[in-house]
Structure 1
Amino acid sequence: SKSTELGDSGNQHHHHHHHQLEDGEEGDREGDAESDGSGEHEGAGFKLSNCLDYVKSGMEAIIEDDVTSRFLAEELKNWNLLTRTNRHYEFISWRLTVIWMIGFLIRYFVLMPMRVLICFIGVIWLTLCTAVVGCIPEGAIKRTMVRTVLIQCFGFLSSALSSVVNYHNIENRPLNGICVANHTSPIDVLMLMCDNCYSLIGQRHGGFLGVLQRALARASPHIWFERAEAKDRMFVAKRLKEHVSDPINPPILIFPEGTCINNTSVMQFKKGSFEVGGVIYPVAIKYDPRFGDAFWNSSRYSMMQYLFLMMTSWAIVCDVWYLPPMYREEGESAIDFANRVKSVIAKQGGLVDLVWDGQLKRMKPKKEWKEKQQERFSKLLKGE
């Protein structure tokens, strides 16, 4: 199946990882044999069963590991009459086939044309409105106009996906400072901007997303950067501190994971946004996969392909929880604060709290991680 193919490719790092452990094991054994003379390991406290945990971990990584499966579409327990599953076609009954065909015709020939039209009108309307309010002099009137216009425009755009959003605990809605949320796709912004006005920070894009970014930049302060450029990171940190220090600025929306995860888990939060200081407003976003898969697999689909998949789904249904504001405690490191916020979001959204870095989607595991595992294994062999 597709998930198996992608999982195998993602697990090559894990195979390599375990080979390294085995090599280290053999080396330690040879060293013990030379020093001991008898070749027995009882003196060092080694037992053959010590290896079983590593064998078990290796088998689990081959079958399905905790990381690469988070970068693929979520597997559903029950079929939702959509074609986008990771399993091959399987005939069950003619009755079900007829129901699927009727659903296919409705989704592709009734819903999709209407949604494309709404999206086209919505993008033009957003571009025009932001251009107009961008001409208004800075002040309270402009801020009020920007807030009203953006919420209205994003509300119109959300109807292009037949979005149904349930907002919980609106008394905790962010007013200023930094708002952090788990990240599933670019439409996370759409879901949140239908209820509140945010300044955005994110990677600069081209194409359709680039059009939206330029339109938004005309009306309100946003921070766009190039991920690969180190000088941009310094610029972003400086701009972020300036934005947060001004209480009249809208809250700035940040996705600390830095990449899209399939809405089954929350991965490592980058510490940068937690070093700025001030208040952090956590937000948990959970999509209902029965009506449509909101996850954007950016390594497989372009933005336009992703929009096509969204517009041919039944609907995008999600719950948004505004959580109580959180502050960094005295003596607490930025990493510990980030993990504390992450655990609160994971618990509220019913997501798995993982320590892994989401950038493993794009990069190989760090050498330090492998060396740390090898060091732990060598201590186990020596009976330390």
Structure 2
Amino acid sequence: MTESSSLFRFSDMRQVVSNLPNPIESSKVKLSRRNLYRSNALKKARNAVFSSFQDFPVDSENIESFSFHKLQEELDNNLLSDLKEPEHLNIVKLVSSLVIPFFMEGIEDMVDDSFTKCFQRKKEVPWNWNFYLFFPWLLGAIIRYFVLFPFRLFCLIASTLVLVIALFLIQLFIRNTTTKSRIIQRCLVLYGGAWIMSLSGVVRYHGTRPKSGPNKIFVANHTTMLDFAVLLQIHPFSVLGQLHTGFVGFLQTYILDKLHCVWFHRDDLRDRELVRRRLKEHLKHEDVPPLLIFPEGTCVNNEYCVMFKKGAFELDATIYPIAIKYHREFSDAFWDSKSESFLQYLFRLMTSWALVCDVYFLPPQTKETEETPEVFAARVKRLICQKAGLVDVPWDGYMKHFRPSERFVEKRRHLIGRVLQEQLQRNIQPMS
């Protein structure tokens, strides 16, 4: 060190900063008198840090005009040299073995949750986003809401009233049971057509039309309660389904029950054996409509097909698969009963342009000798998925109606806590 130079001490940096008339600016740090002397606690902490830095020589004549950039560079060098991982904690190993697996598990559930995707409506992308498309969209909205909807609603209400009156007159004046049943079935077929007409339905049927007969069960994928109307307008069916309340319950109890339908309560476990006995008795009769069952047990969004319940495949009957594929160009037929009521759903369809779908009647299937009901159900489901272009997933559709139990949640928490404890003990060692 020469005589013209002296040792710059970090403890004297306060003097250097105080001699500067304006706040000191740097590309990395902004320092001013006010920030430097904000509190006594900051002073003490700053003095403790500065005391650990190494001093360096500087020209004593130019110490007051000492470049702050040089000072900042020295501060950065000292801070970076002191930034080391503590010996008692392996951060890399801890993150890789503990944090990342749980993080990735959550990300995988959010990105590829194939169960939730089965019950989600596809979001509509708006197309009326500019000036010259807005007016055609507005004209279409006026037609759908103020022309088509009133006409469709009138057709549905009028057809329901006519059917109720017709059923009353049939019960009153016709005594022959066989003739009465045949006329009622014909009236209900026409009523199914009225429902499709009130939705401006365009339905294309492919394959051999269904026929009545003993020991027959028709099974189909399930998207909406209107699946029954789509099939009812060409042939009467005795459907197996859950008993609802409100407007749907009225239709089930007083109108559709004339088709010898089988209703059950999902929450009542005693209904299962009763339903099983009724189905076996139904298959023996020739003068009743054939059974129609939706083995998924719940409505799915017509992109996926969930697990088929094995009940219909245990009855040693001939299975007639039906694949129903709705097209979204004019409306989305999926009914999510958890987010909208049936009347809200009906209003949404009646204010759309049309209900368009294809119905495929597939060749009959019988259970093979060494085939279990579960395998038989899975085979029929694959046929329906291939014909309707649906994704075959193994999930039980009833899972969407239930939440995980507290016992399951608590067991999951206990498992995660035990894994965390083991990983922490393995990666963190006590300080000496």
Q: Pick from 114, 121, 129: which aligns with 1:66? A: 114
Tell whether 2:203 aligns with 1:165: yes
Distance verdict in 2 for CA 1:352–1:112, change over 3 Å: same
Q: Where in structure 2 are the equivalents of 1:167-246 lying within 5 Å?
A: 167-171=205-209, 175-176=213-214, 177-217=216-256, 219-246=258-285
- Summarize the Cα distance change of 1:227–1:132 in structure 2 as closer, same or farther, 3 Å threshold: farther
Q: Could you tell me how far apart the structure 2 residues matched to 1:52 and 1:336 are?
A: 38
SS in 2 for 1:269: coil
Alpha-carbon offset, residue 211 of structure 1:
1.6
Unaligned runs of 5+ in 2: 1-95, 420-432
Contact 1:130 1:218 in 2 (8 A): no
Q: Is 1:340 aligned to residue 388 of structure 2? A: no
> Taking every aligned residue pair, what percent have the same amino acid on both sides?
39
* Residue type of the alignment partner of 1:63: V
Q: CA deviation at 1:122?
A: 1.6
- Contact 1:133–1:219 (8 Å) recurs in 2: no
Alpha-carbon distance in structure 2 between the residues aligned to 1:229 and 1:119: 33
After TM superposition, list the pairs within 5 Å mapping 1:1-384 onto structure 2.
Answer: 58-75=106-123, 85=124, 92-134=129-171, 136-137=174-175, 139-171=177-209, 175-176=213-214, 177-217=216-256, 219-364=258-403
Q: CA offsets, 1:273-329, max 9 Å, x none?
A: 111121111100010111101111110101111111010011000110011111111
Q: 8 Å contact 1:71–1:262 — kept in the other structure?
A: yes
The answer to whether the Cα contact below 8 Å between 1:164 and 1:318 also exists between their aligned partners in 2 is yes
Preserved CA contact (<8 Å) 2:236 2:259 = no
The CA distance in 2 between the partners of 1:132 and 1:243, in whole Å, is 27
Q: Give aligned pairs, total.
A: 313
Q: Which has the larger radius of gyration?
A: 2
Indicate if the aligned counterparts of 1:285 and 1:319 stay in contact, CA closer than 8 A: yes
2:259–2:288 CA contact under 8 A, matched in 1: no
| 2:335 partner SS | coil
Counterpart of 2:166 in structure 1: which amino acid?
C
| Partner amino acid, structure 2, of 1:181 | A
* Partner secondary structure for residue 357 of structure 2: strand
Verify the 8 A CA contact 1:152 1:194 in the aligned structure 2: yes
The residue type equivalent to 1:301 in the other structure is E
CA distance in 1, matches of 2:134, 2:211: 45
CA distance in 2, matches of 1:215, 1:108: 30
Is the contact made by 1:123 and 1:212 (CA closer than 8 Å) also made in structure 2?
Answer: no
Alpha-carbon shift at residue 69 of structure 1 (Å): 1.6
- 1:247 CA drift (Å): 2.7
| Structure 2: distance between partners of 1:244 and 1:138 | 23
More moved, 143-152 vs 235-244: 143-152
User: How far 1:138 sits from its partner (Å)?
Assistant: 5.8
Q: Do 1:282 and 1:345's aligned partners in 2 also have CA atoms closer than 8 Å?
A: yes
Q: Choose between structure 1 and 2 for higher RCO, CA contacts under 8 A separated by at least 6 residues.
A: 1
What secondary structure is seen at the aligned counterpart in 2 of 1:318? Answer: strand
Structure-2 separation of matches of 1:299 and 1:125: 32
Q: Contact (CA 8 Å) 1:72, 1:262: kept in 2 or not?
A: yes
Aligned CA distance change for structure 1 residues 118 and 265 (closer, same or farther; 3 Å): same
- Alignment root-mean-square deviation, CA: 2.7
Query: How far did residue 134 of structure 1 move?
Result: 4.4
TM-score, scaled relative to structure 2: 0.67
CA distance in 2 between partners of 1:61 and 1:116 (Å): 42
Q: Secondary structure at the match of 1:247?
A: coil
Give, in whole Å, the separation in 2 of the partners of 1:52 and 1:137: 75
**Structure 2 residue aligned with 1:28:** none
Q: C-alpha displacement at 1:337, in angstroms? A: 0.8
Give the partner amino acid of 2:134: T
Structure 2: how far apart are the matches of 1:311 and 1:179? 28
**Could you state the TM-score of these two structures normalised by the residue count of structure 1?**
0.75
Question: What secondary structure, in the 3-state scheme, does the structure 2 residue paired with 1:285 have?
Answer: strand
Change (3 A) 1:53 1:323: farther
Distance 1:217 1:312, change over 3 A: closer
